[in-house]
Structures are given as structure tokens and as C-alpha cells.
Amino acid sequence: MQTQDIIQLEQQYVLQVYQRADFILDHGQGARVWDTDGREYIDCVAGIAVNALGYGDPDLLGALTEQAGRLWHTSNLYHTAPQARLARLLCETSFADRVHYANCGASANESAFKFARRFAREHGHSDKTTIVAFSNGFHGRLFGSLAATDRPKYREPFEPLMPGVRFARFNDLDSVAAAIGPDVCAVIVEPVQGEGGVHLAEPQFLAGLRRLCDQHQALLIFDEVQCGLGRTGQLWAYQGYGVTPDLLTTAKPLAGGLPMGAVLLTQRVADALHPFDHASTFAGGPLVAAVAEVLVSKVSQPAFLAQVAEKGQVLRHKLAELRSPHIKAVRGQGLLIGVELDVLAAQVVSAGQRHGLLTVGAGPTVLRLAPPLIITHAEIDAAVERLAVALTEV
């Protein structure tokens, strides 16, 4: 089938809620992908901060094929070794005592919301149901996660959403103090906001959230769906802040590109949850869990994390050095980078694609770079060169 035939088929039969590029990706290796016409791209999107180990990682492939030949779905009616081993690994590499599996970021966040309400009720506070979320935050597109997502355009066509969410301003503790009260069961925040434009939480903001949550007996949820699992140069973004949440949600890179999410939680929270409180048919299945075990083992190595931090610094420095008149600021942590532009990011994304570079917007004027964490220095150089050319075309 020719490229145009495939695009036409998609446009005829697939629900048109996505705006896709006008080429078809066919295969990848490392941090590069090729389209069906043989054009090569340096991938600074990585499936939207998903493909942490890039394409063709032999260890992920080995775990996938080994497990696929053994058993790939059983449901949670039965124990399986990969999900038990992965839970141990996630606990040993974080603050958590327990893991609950989900299928994506939105479902991980909605699990966390249910757990927070259950926790409050278990402690005798049945009226403690409100969740505080933040300006520019993004937590997913289902009714609960969308209710906690500050995007009127995404929300309004589907209202009423889950009731009981109150918004405060990111990096503004006074606004949190005004929003939090005895009715609040949880505060959810991204330590580094991804979709909202790559904004870093200030350390005193997260420390202040911890304090306010403790004062008001509310749980602190860190949404590390985008910024967790090595992306910031720390395994978990919270570890760079020294502020520990009660629950942490993860997804995107967890199973190396297969759909999987998880909630990490303390024993204190876990004690409030009981059999049948929450469930999912697919969550934590042996195939995704076997792949995730390899991914977490690899990205949690100190040497691996150190190279993410170093390459992130190099990439941010090179972007700042570009001195393009269109670049107003470069920010980020590790390999989650936002470039604030004076033009629409979509224009630069398209121009980049024409020059063999994949990038993605994070809000109208922020260009986001979230390459595979294994991107090489030579690929970083080439990506910056291609971006420089793209910027001259807008």
C-alpha cells in the first residue's frame, strides 16, 4: 500500500479526533525513525515521552518475546510472576510500599483519586472528597482526570465532569492555602508540568504543598506520568526535590511503549483499600509487566540517570546558544525540555518534520523536546542543527 492510500484509509475509517502528520512512520532504531518513503527523523518526541529506551532495545525485545511465548494475559483473578517482581522493583526504587496497576496515565490518576477518597472515608471523613489541582496541569482525558485538568477547551464539550475539583495556581502557595480546607482529600500536582508548557515546580512550592497537606489531613499525589522514570535525570522527579508524596502515578515510559500505568503508594494509604475497591481486567498483565521490569531496571541505574542529566544540560545549552530570534526561553530538566517561542509551536513542529526532526508542542507557543533517554551526543547535535534550519523557515 502506498503512503497516500494508507492516509486515505485512516481518514475514511478512523474517528478523526487526532491531527496527524502527513507521513507514516514505519520503523525505528535507537533515537531515529524512518517513514514509509525512507525519510529519516531524529525523534525528539519519543511517542510523547514514552519510548525512554528508544526503538529496538534488545533487552525489551527479549523480555517481550520470552513472555509472549509463555503467557500474555490472565486477568487479576490469578497471580503472575512478572507483576509481583515489578511491584517489588518499583517499591525498592521509590518511597512506596505498594503498587496498584493501571492501563495508562489517566486511569492511574483516577485510581489515585479513588484511593484518596477511600482513605478519607476509612478515617471517618465521608465529607472529605475535594481534590485540589493546578493551573496548567494535565492529568488525562477521562471524566475524573479531565476534571483535574486545567484546559477549558478540552473540558467544556463534555461537562459535567467529575465534581469536587478545585483549582489553585501552580507555584503559588497562597492560592493553595486559600483552596485547601477540611473538605480536601488530596492535592494532585506534576513536579514538572509537561503538557502545560514544561514548567518546573519550585522546591519551596512542593515542600509547602507537603506541609499544607499534612496540616489538613489531605494526601499528596505526584503525577509523574510524564516527568517520572528517568526523564528528569532522577529516577523519580520527587527525588530531586526531596519532597515525598503519599501517592505517585506513573505510566508513559513504564512498559517501554506498551500501555501500562501504576500508582505507587505508602502502606498508610494502602491500609485503607480492600478487596473489590478497585479493579481492571488488563492492568498489570504479565506481558507489559515483564517488559516494564526490564525498563525500570535499566533506567534506574545511576550511570544511566547521570547520562540523562548530562545530555539534558548539553541539549538545553545548545538550544540557548542557537540565539534564534524566535526563541524567548529554554527551560526544563533532564530530557524534558520546553522552548518558549514567539511564534506558534505548530509551525516549528511542521518545519522540523520537513527537515528530519520530530518535536511536539506543549501549549500554543512552547516547543517540547522529549527524546529517547538513549539519544546520542551526535544525534543531539544533529537535532539542534535541524531545528536551527526549521526556525529560519517560520
By CB under 6 A, the residues from 67 to 96 that bind ligand PLP are none
By CB under 6 A, name the one of 106, 200, 221, 237 that touches ligand PLP: 106
Residue whose grid cell is 548530562: 310
Distance CA 235, CA 359 (A): 23
The amino acid occupying position 77 is L
Asked whether position 225 contacts ligand PLP by CB under 6 A, the answer is: yes
Distance CA 366, CA 195 (A): 9
Minimum distance from residue 107 beta carbon to ligand PLP (Å)? 7
Strands (DSSP E) found in the chain: 25-29, 32-35, 40-43, 98-102, 130-134, 165-168, 184-189, 192-193, 199-200, 219-223, 247-250, 261-265, 327-333, 336-341, 357-358, 360-361, 366-369
Contact in structure between 111 and 93 (CB atoms under 8 Å): no
Q: Which stretch binds ligand PLP (CB under 6 A): 54-62, 88-96, 136-144, 334-342?
A: 136-144
Between the alpha carbon of residue 321 and those of residues 116, 256, 387, the distances in Å are 45, 32, 12
* Cis peptide leading into residue 191 (ω within 30°): no
Distance CA 239, CA 262 (A): 18
Q: Which is nearer to ligand PLP, 89 or 133 (CB)?
A: 133
By CB under 6 A, name the one of 47, 54, 82, 194 that touches ligand PLP: 194
What nine digits make up the cell of 251? 505510566
| 202 DSSP assignment | P
By CB under 6 A, the residues from 318 to 347 that bind ligand PLP are none
For the stretch 285-299, what's the b/e string if a residue is b when 16 or more beta carbons lie within 10 angstroms of its beta carbon?
Answer: bbbbbbbbbbbbbbb
Dihedral angle computed from the Cα positions of residues 36, 39, 40 and 45, in that order, rounded to the nearest 10 degrees: -60
What nine digits make up the cell of 13? 475509517
Asked whether position 352 contacts ligand PLP by CB under 6 A, the answer is: no
Query: By rule CB under 6 A, what count of residues binds ligand PLP?
Result: 14
Minimum distance from residue 253 beta carbon to ligand PLP (Å)? 11
Minimum distance from residue 176 beta carbon to ligand PLP (Å)? 18
Asked whether position 170 contacts ligand PLP by CB under 6 A, the answer is: no
Q: Which stretch binds ligand PLP (CB under 6 A): 60-68, 81-89, 102-110, 304-312?
A: 102-110
By CB under 6 A, name the one of 47, 54, 105, 245 that touches ligand PLP: 105
Q: Which is nearer to ligand PLP, 263 or 384 (CB)?
A: 263
Asked whether position 226 contacts ligand PLP by CB under 6 A, the answer is: yes
Minimum distance from residue 59 beta carbon to ligand PLP (Å)? 23
Minimum distance from residue 251 beta carbon to ligand PLP (Å)? 5
By CB under 6 A, name the one of 41, 55, 115, 138 that touches ligand PLP: 138
Minimum distance from residue 308 beta carbon to ligand PLP (Å)? 18
By CB under 6 A, name the one of 57, 110, 150, 223 that touches ligand PLP: 223
By CB under 6 A, the residues from 139 to 158 that bind ligand PLP are 139-140
223, β-bridge pairs? 249
Minimum distance from residue 162 beta carbon to ligand PLP (Å)? 15
Binding site for ligand PLP (CB under 6 A): 104-106, 109, 138-140, 190, 194-195, 223, 225-226, 251
